Amino acid sequence: MAERAVDVVRLLMKQGHMAKITDLIDADTAQLIAEELGHTVRRVAESDVEEGLFDAADDEGELASRPPVVTIMGHVDHGKTSLLDAIRSTNVVGGEAGGITQHIGAYQVTSPSGSKITFIDTPGHAAFSAMRARGAKVTDIVVLVVAADDGVMPQTIEAISHAKAAKVPMIVAINKIDKPDAKPERVRTELLQYEVQVESMGGEVLDVEVSATKRTNLDKLLETIGLQAELLDLKANPDRPAEGTVVEAKLDRGRGTVATILVQRGTLRTGDIVVAGAEWGRVRALLSDTGTTVDAAGPSTPVEILGFNATPEAGDRLAVVANEARAREVTDYRAHQKREKQAARATAMRGSLEQMMNQLKTQGRKDFALVIKADVQGSSEAIVGSLEKLGNEEVGARVLHAGVGGITESDVTLAAASGAVILGFNVRANKEARAAAERAGIEIRYYNIIYDLIDDVKKAMSGMLAPTLRETTLGTAQILEIFKVSKVGNVAGCRVTDGTVERGQHVRLIRDNVVIHEGKLATLRRVKDDVKEVQAGQECGMSFENYQDMRVGDLIECYRVESIERSL
Ligand code: GDP
């Protein structure tokens, strides 16, 4: 403002403030003085850097129709995954070739009438209020899957509440109608209890009887979704900088950060500078849901983005910004915010630790300290979300750390410091971490179903720990070469690196610390002979039951499942 400091000090004195030139004054006083000096003041906040990032309005005339975004919800085992798979594979067979095994968290299909539909493929398990709530945020339509032989179950009801809370219309897919004990009418009646009235019951909710395994009525389901979408009259402006949401993000060894984005308005192009959460990047490449490179992605299109500097979190909103400076400005501010929040939480935790000790003394409150590692951000969040809901005044779960990737030595150190248990979801501990855990007496448990994980913690907390199946690692082997053998299929030539490998036992295929496959060992051979077991240091040939896609460099973990007492 080019005012002299002495003038400011004089004015302050007039107001009764005895201030020195180096003193700090608060914002209100500063405003007063500045106005006194004849300047116009506009108060700004740090958070103003976020301004204009999202939700700039579009003119009605710029809007064009966009495909609906659909999330499938329902009780566990009612067929969410099967239905998604069936829809996707039918469509791929009928349309473009290849690429169906790739999991990208969202994909687009073409309905029989030619219109496009986008599906969000959140992990198909039910314990995920968090994830589903997220799904619903980007979702236009919820398909509620209810198995005709099982009827309305707890997670069906949860899904209904979520869809209602998000004010998202529902379509009921009554699945498994191929089963002899299927009772679709019963499903319709049961739904009435939860204020879901299908058309034949005098309501407005559309319903379709389907079979995911027999692929019955899948076209009809797609048509119904199309119909519902027409009613919603979904529109977005494709000609503007893109905005979207992160569906999933992971760190890929070869490609760096890979984020699956659902574009919601505008068009995303390679070369765009994007921010999501506290991360930013220049879009190096865009990959469609079939794995092909594309130059641009319009509204309702799911794409994978390469080029983020670090992994954003699932559910983060993404926006294109004008330049790198702007991107840095926004992400610096957010990173700062995030750090402050974490610091606040850490202090709160210390406080509660003291409280906890008191509680422990007075009421005997127990805490289950846990360290969670998962293969993708979404799973980790879902697990933490569900765990936080467990517990009462007497017991509770305390998540010390939740992250993405293999279990490392530092996870073990953290767990050891607080006597925590480490839970790995679709990830494994590396060798150093395993050794450290053994030294420190820390338990590492592996899961591939979130529900099982939650259930185990719950049971441990309720002191209901019954003897159960528990696995013991027998040994690991590394794949050196893959042979094709007629009739048998692919055989992995391996060296056993530690322990032993036994025929007929359970095996797990691990690539970059992530579990690719679980199953049983079909054959185990040394040279040409079938053997019962192979010791560390020796080479052998292994083939899996019903699985072929092993690769050189993969690790094979062999383990035994036995029934023993549990503790957590
Ligand atoms: P999710 O937990 O909801 O994802 O359920 P899944 O898709 O994993 O399906 C659970 C089980 O139900 C699997 O064993 C499927 O094979 C079976 N299933 C799914 N859809 C059908 C169907 O339409 N008919 C029959 N008979 N079985 C089905």
Domain CATH for 119: 3.40.50.300
The total number of structural domains in the chain stands at 5
Residues 212 and 289 in one domain: no
Residues 354 and 479 in one domain: no
Report, as an integer, the average pLDDT of 394-400: 74
Distance CA 446, CA 529 (A): 33
Q: Is the separation of the CB atoms in 408 and 430 below 8 Å?
A: yes
- Domain annotation covers residue 59: no
170 pLDDT above the threshold of 50 = yes
Tokens, residue 27? 């914002």
Residues 85 and 229 in one domain: yes
Domain CATH for 446: 3.40.50.10050
- Domain annotation covers residue 340: no
Last residue of a domain, one of 300, 335, 370: 335
Residues 216 and 325 in one domain: no
- Domain annotation covers residue 342: no
Residues 227 and 135 in one domain: yes
Report, as an integer, the average pLDDT of 494-508: 90
What is the per-residue pLDDT across 344-390, written as a single tens digit (0 to 9) for each? 655 544 434 444 444 444 445 467 788 899 888 878 888 888 888 87
DSSP, res 61: G
**Nearest one of 262, 241, 252, 255 to 285, comparing CA atoms:** 255
The ligand 1 atom at the shortest distance from the C-alpha of residue 85 is 7
pLDDT at position 226 is 94
The ligand 1 atom at the shortest distance from the C-alpha of residue 216 is 23
pLDDT at position 92 is 54
Q: Which amino acid appears at position 51 of this protein?
A: E
> Would you place residue 563 in the very low, low, confident or very high pLDDT band (cuts 50, 70, 90)?
low
Residues 231 and 270 in one domain: no
Cα(474) to centroid(ligand 1), Å: 32
The protein residue with its alpha carbon nearest to ligand 1, atom 22, reads 176
Phi-psi region of 43 (alpha: psi -120 to 50; beta: other; left: phi over 0): beta
Residues 249 and 228 in one domain: no
Cα(70) to centroid(ligand 1), Å: 19
- Domain annotation covers residue 555: yes
Burial of 27: CB neighbours in 10 Å, binned 0-12, 13-18, 19+:
exposed
Best of 71, 77, 153, 210 for a ligand 1 pocket test (most atoms within 8 Å of beta carbon): 77
Domain CATH for 516: 2.40.30.10
Cα(112) to centroid(ligand 1), Å: 24
pLDDT at position 44 is 76
Residues 33 and 68 in one domain: no
Which residue is it, tokens 């050196």? 480
pLDDT at position 479 is 93
Strand partners, 406: none
Residues 94 and 224 in one domain: yes
Q: Is the separation of the CB atoms in 379 and 447 below 8 Å?
A: no
- Domain annotation covers residue 343: no
- Domain annotation covers residue 77: yes
Last residue of a domain, one of 402, 436, 464: 464
222 pLDDT above the threshold of 90 = yes
- Domain annotation covers residue 505: yes
Residues 79 and 141 in one domain: yes
Residues 456 and 474 in one domain: no
The ligand 1 atom at the shortest distance from the C-alpha of residue 82 is 7
- Domain annotation covers residue 34: yes
DSSP, res 64: E
2 pLDDT above the threshold of 60 = yes
What is the per-residue pLDDT across 46-81, written as a single tens digit (0 to 9) for each? 777 777 777 777 888 889 999 999 988 888 889 988
Residues 71 and 192 in one domain: yes
Q: What is the widest separation between alpha-carbon atoms in the chain?
A: 100
Tokens, residue 495? 């060296």
Cα(210) to centroid(ligand 1), Å: 11
318 pLDDT above the threshold of 60 = yes
Last residue of a domain, one of 417, 441, 464: 464
Task: Tell me the residue range of the domain where 280 lies.
Answer: 243-335
